[in-house]
Amino acid sequence: MEATEIIKAFCDRIGIAYEPDRYGSCFFEADGLRVAINDFREIDSIAIVGDLGEPPPQRLERLYRMMLEANHLLGATNGATLSLDSETGHFALCQFLPYRAVDVDSLYAVTDRFVSTLEAWTRVIGDFREIIPAAEKAEAGTGGGLAAPGFMQV
């Protein structure tokens, strides 16, 4: 089955019309997050891409380090990668699947896991925005700190 056929069948399964944009991307929302499914013919892959929003204005070095560590061996991204979209300036989560190894059921399962990962990283980046003022207080010696449970200090 070709990638386009798999993507069409996936769209049918989740109940959306297959209406690719001029780049061949199909979009849907899952839990309030926008996700794209793309046919990357030049590398025989289907890509799942989610927008994580704009980087916070401060403390980017810490966040970039955390994201790079998460990308290492894809351990904290469930097989996806974190990146920065140079066109939008937003962070993105991306996962590539060789279409010859994918069927509709496996694409659905991977996409479901991808959406969970996208939600988690959206929270991490959102929490990071909230933690910035606390971190600045801690550095200034006025209390606060990075006390959020499950947040990895870098």
> What per-residue confidence (pLDDT) applies to 12?
97
CA gap 106, 1 in Å, rounded:
13
Which tens digits make up the pLDDT trace of 55-111? 988 888 999 999 999 999 998 999 999 999 999 999 999 999 999 999 999 999 999
Which tens digits make up the pLDDT trace of 5-27? 999 999 999 999 999 999 889 99
Q: Is 30 exposed, middle or buried (0-12, 13-18, 19+ CB in 10 A)?
A: middle
> What per-residue confidence (pLDDT) applies to 141?
55
- Structural domains present in the chain: 3-140 (3.30.1460.10)
Do residues 57 and 133 make contact, with C-beta atoms less than 8 angstroms apart?
no
What lies within 8 Å, CB to CB, of 115 at 6+ separation is: 30, 31, 33, 35, 50
Q: Which of the residue ranges 4-8, 114-118, 148-152 would you say has the lowest mean pLDDT?
A: 148-152
